[in-house]
Structure 1
Amino acid sequence: MTVVTLDVMTTTMLASLLLMLGIGLQRMVPLFNQLCVPAPVLGGFGFALFALGARSFAGVEFKFDMALQTPLMIAFFATVGLGGSLALLKKGGKALGVYLVACWGLALLQNGLGISVATLLGEHPLLGLMAGAVSLEGGFGAAAAFGPEAEALGVIGATTAALAAATFGMVAGGLLGAPVARLLISRHKIEIHAEQVHELEVLQQSERPTHATITGALLLKVVSVVLCTMVAGLWLSANMREHLDIILPSYVGAMFIAIILRNINEQFSLVTIPDNAINVISDLCLGIFLTMAMMGLQLWQLADLGWSLLIILVLQTVAIVLLAIFVMFRLLGHNYDAAVLCAGFVGHGLGATPNAVANMGAVCDRYKVFSHKAFIVAPLCGAVLIDIVAIPAITWCLNVFG
C-alpha cells in the first residue's frame, strides 16, 4: 500500500478547494439544492469516494494532518452558542414551546432507539448513538464532532458511520417531509387556511439578526470573543474530566460558555456582536472543518457496519414519520399550519434546518397558502434552541455507554 501524506497546510488547502468545488456543484446541479446537500459534503464526500477507489484499485492511501480541524470545530460550536438566546423560550408562546419540547423529546427518542437497536444487533451502543440524535437531529456538524469522541472510546469507524448516517438523514428528510404534510392534509380534509400569528411575527421582528459593515476591526473583535469562549470551554472540559471524571468534549464546553455569555450580554449589553459577523466566522469554520471530516472518511470501514447501520436508520425514519403523523399533528393544532410544521419537523429531525425550510416551502407552494407560523417557529427551534437539550443528552450517553 502506497501512502500519500499531506502536511497541515496542504490538507487545509485541499479542504478549501474541495469546499469551493462543493459550492460550484450546488449552483450547477439543481437536485443538490432541492435536497439541501451542504457544499462541504459534496466536495469532501466526493474526495472520500475518490480515496476509496484509489485504495481499492491502485493501492494508494491518503493520510492527512488534521491539526486545524479541532480548533475550527470548537470555533464553530462557540458561534452556535453565541446565537442561543434563552429569552426566546419566554417570548415564543405556546406554538414555539410545543414544537421545541417535541424536538427535545425527539433527540432523546433517537438516542434511545439507536442505542437499543444497536445493542440488540450485537453492536456497540455508541454506534446506535452515532445513528441517533448525533447524526440525525444533530446533522453533519455534530456527527463530525462526536464521531471522534466515540472512536476514542473504542468504537471503530464511528466517525464514518455518523457522517454516513447524516447523509442518509439529509436525503430522507428532504424526500419525506412534504409527502407527510400532503398525506395529513388529504387524510384529514384540512381547510387550506393559515392562522394569524401577530405575536410570533412581533417576536421574529424583535429577534431579527443584527447587521453591521464587515471590517477588519469588527472581525477582530468577534474573533477575540470566540477565542475567549474557546479557551474557557477547553478549561471547563479539562476540569470536568480531571475532577469529576465526566467526559465533556471541548466544543460542548465552548458552546455552553458562549450561551452563558450571549444571555449575560443580552441583559447588560457588555459588547456588540453583530449576527452577520458571527455568521461569517461560523460559515467559514464549519465549511472547512466539515470538508476535512468528510474527505478523511475511511469508507471501507462501513463494510462491517453496513447492515446494522441501515437497520437503525430505517427504524429511525419510520419512528419520526409515525411521530409526525400521529402525535405532532394533533399537538400542533390539527390544521394547515400543523401539517406544514410536520413537514419541517421531519426535515430537520432527519436532516437539518434547510431541509425543514425546503419541505415547508414545497407544501406552501403546492397549496398556494403561506404558513407564517411554520416559517417562524421551525427555523427558531431548529437553528440553535434544539442543541440546548440535544447536545447535553448526547454527552450524557457518551459518559454512560462509553
Structure 2
Amino acid sequence: MTIYLDMIQSLALATGLLFFGKFVKRRIHFFQKYCIPSPVIGGLIFSVLVFICHEFGWLYINFNTTLQDFFMIAFFTTVGYNASIKPLKQGGKHIFIFLVLIACLIICQNIIALGIGKLLNVPPLLSLCTGSIPMVGGHGSAGAFGPTIKAMGVDGATSVAIASATFGLVAGSAIGGPIAKRLIEKKNLYKEVEHRLDDPDIEDSVSGFKEFIASGFSYGFYQIVIAMGLGTLVSYVLKLTGLKFPSYIGAMLVAAAIRNYSDFTGKFKVYFMEIQEIGEASLSFFLSMALMTLELWTLSNLALPMLILLASQLILMMLFSRFVIFKYMGKDYDAAVMTAGACGFGMGATPNAMANMQSIVDKYAPSPQAFLVVPIVGALFIDFLNSLIITGFISFF
C-alpha cells in the first residue's frame, strides 16, 4: 500500500515528529548527553519504522518535500547573516588562527574521505558524504548536500550523509573530553590556571546573548525572504559558470553581503537575534523532514565501506585536535579546552563543542578565552566556510 502526503500533510507530520523527538530526548539521557537534536531523534525513529514497512512490503509513503527545500534555503540564509567579519577584528588573533585551523580540518576531512573512498571503490561524491558535509557541517549540511548529490545520480547520498552526521555527533562528544583531560594532566597545565578558581571576574561559561524581540520578528523574516529572493539571481549567475552549486548558495552569499554592509555602514539594522530564532526553527523543520524521508534501504550495500570511512574521520579528528589544534592555539590550558571544543563541532555541532568544554572547565578551571573563540567560530563562520569549501570539492565531479 502506498500513501501520498501533500505539502501541508508532510509539514504536519514533520512537526509531530519534532515534538515526539523532544519528548524522547527529555526521557533518555543518552540523547541529552550527546546533544542529539530533537528532529533527528523523531525523524530517525520514523524512518526506521518506514524501513521496516518497506522491507516487508507493508507500506510505502510518498512525501511532498517542497517545504523541505524552502526551510533548507531559509536556514542557510540565516547562516549567511551570521557571517560578520567584525568579530575577527574585535576578537584578536586567536579567533583568526582557530578559524584557519578549522578550515584546514575541513579540507583534510574531504581529502581523507576521497582518498579512502577511492581505495574502497566508493564513488567520489558518495565518499564526500562522510567528509566535512556531515562532520563539521552536521545534520544541517548533511540534509542539504545529501539531496544535492543524490540529484547528481548518486543513490544513497542523503542516507549516508545523515547516518555519518549522527555518528559524528556521538563520536565528537565522546573523544573531546578524554583528549583534553589527558593533555591537561600529562602536561600539568592545571597548575597554570588554579588561580582562576578564586577570581570573581572570570566567568566559567558563556552567557546567553539571545534576546527575542517580538516586534522585530516580522522584519527579520522579511530580511530572510529578501536575501532568498536576491539569492536566486546570484545562483542563476553562478550556474552560468558551468560549476555545480547547492540551491542555497546564492541566498547565503547575499545574506552575508547584507550583514557586513550593515555592520560597516550602519545605514540600516539587521534583526540578527530574530533571524537567529527563525533560523533555528527552519533548521528544525528541515531536519525533521529530511530525516523522516530517509530511504534507509539504500545503505544495505554500504555498511562496511561506511564504517571504514567514518573510522578514518575519527582518527583524523583525534590526531588533528591533539597535534594541530593544541599546538597552534598555544599549547596551554586554554588550548586544551579548545581542543575539546574542536572535537565537538569538528564531528558534530557547536552545542557539542560547548558541552565538551563545559565538562572540562567544571573539572578544572574556567577558560574565558576558549568560551569566546569557539562559539564565535562555530556559530558565526564555520557553516558558511564549510559550505563554500564543500561546493568547491563538488564542482570537480
Structure 1 moving runs of 4+ over 6 Å? none
Show the 5 A alignment for 1:43-62: 43-62=42-61
Show the 5 A alignment for 1:180-259: 180-194=179-193, 209=209, 211=211, 213-215=213-215, 218-241=216-239, 243-259=240-256
Greater displacement, 87-96 / 300-309: 87-96
Aligned match of 1:118: 117
Counterpart CA distance in 2 for 1:188 and 1:118 is 37
Q: Does the Cα contact within 8 Å between 1:210 and 1:275 map onto a contact in 2? A: no
* Equivalent of 2:378 in 376, 382, 386: 382
Q: Does the Cα contact within 8 Å between 1:191 and 1:335 map onto a contact in 2? A: no
Q: Deviations over 1:273-298 (max 9, x none)?
A: 33331122111111111100000001
Deviation at 1:191, TM superposition (A): 3.0
Aligned match of 2:151: 152
Aligned match of 2:199: none
Give the secondary-structure state (helix, strand or coil) at the position aligned to 1:132: coil
- Show structure 2 runs of 5+ residues with no match: 197-201
Letter aligned with residue 366 of structure 2:
F
Counterpart CA distance in 1 for 2:125 and 2:57 is 33
* TM score, norm. by length of structure 2: 0.94
Q: Deviations over 1:170-200 (max 9, x none)?
A: 010111110111111222222344498xxxx
Aligned match of 1:130: 129
Aligned match of 1:14: 13
Q: Does the Cα contact within 8 Å between 1:99 and 1:377 map onto a contact in 2? A: yes
Deviation at 1:209, TM superposition (A): 4.5
Q: Deviations over 1:213-265 (max 9, x none)?
A: 313xx222211111111011111112221x21122222121111100100001
* TM score, norm. by length of structure 1: 0.93
Q: Does the Cα contact within 8 Å between 1:174 and 1:347 map onto a contact in 2? A: yes
Q: Deviations over 1:96-118 (max 9, x none)?
A: 12211111110011011111111
The answer to whether 1:301 aligns with 2:286 is: no
Give the secondary-structure state (helix, strand or coil) at the position aligned to 1:264: helix
CA 1:168–1:208 in structure 2 vs 1: closer, same or farther (change >3 Å)?
Answer: closer
Deviation at 1:212, TM superposition (A): 5.3
Counterpart CA distance in 2 for 1:49 and 1:382 is 31
Aligned match of 2:97: 98
* Equivalent of 1:395 in 387, 391, 394: 391
Counterpart CA distance in 1 for 2:187 and 2:212 is 47
Aligned match of 1:27: 26
Aligned match of 2:2: 3
Letter aligned with residue 78 of structure 2:
T
Q: Does the Cα contact within 8 Å between 1:11 and 1:64 map onto a contact in 2? A: yes
Instruction: Kindly report the root-mean-square deviation, in angstroms, between the aligned alpha carbons of the 2 structures.
Output: 2.1
- Show structure 1 runs of 5+ residues with no match: none
CA 1:31–1:270 in structure 2 vs 1: closer, same or farther (change >3 Å)?
Answer: same
Counterpart CA distance in 2 for 1:39 and 1:192 is 39
Give the secondary-structure state (helix, strand or coil) at the position aligned to 2:300: helix
Counterpart CA distance in 2 for 1:210 and 1:121 is 46
Deviation at 1:208, TM superposition (A): 8.3
Give the secondary-structure state (helix, strand or coil) at the position aligned to 2:396: helix
Question: How many corresponding residue pairs?
Answer: 391
Q: Does the Cα contact within 8 Å between 1:237 and 1:247 map onto a contact in 2? A: no
Q: Deviations over 1:62-92 (max 9, x none)?
A: 1111111111110111111111111122222
Q: Does the Cα contact within 8 Å between 2:243 and 2:395 map onto a contact in 1? A: yes
Q: Does the Cα contact within 8 Å between 1:73 and 1:286 map onto a contact in 2? A: yes
Aligned match of 1:289: 286
Letter aligned with residue 257 of structure 1:
V
Counterpart CA distance in 1 for 2:339 and 2:102 is 11
* Equivalent of 1:322 in 290, 315, 319: 319
Counterpart CA distance in 1 for 2:155 and 2:291 is 16
Letter aligned with residue 148 of structure 2:
E
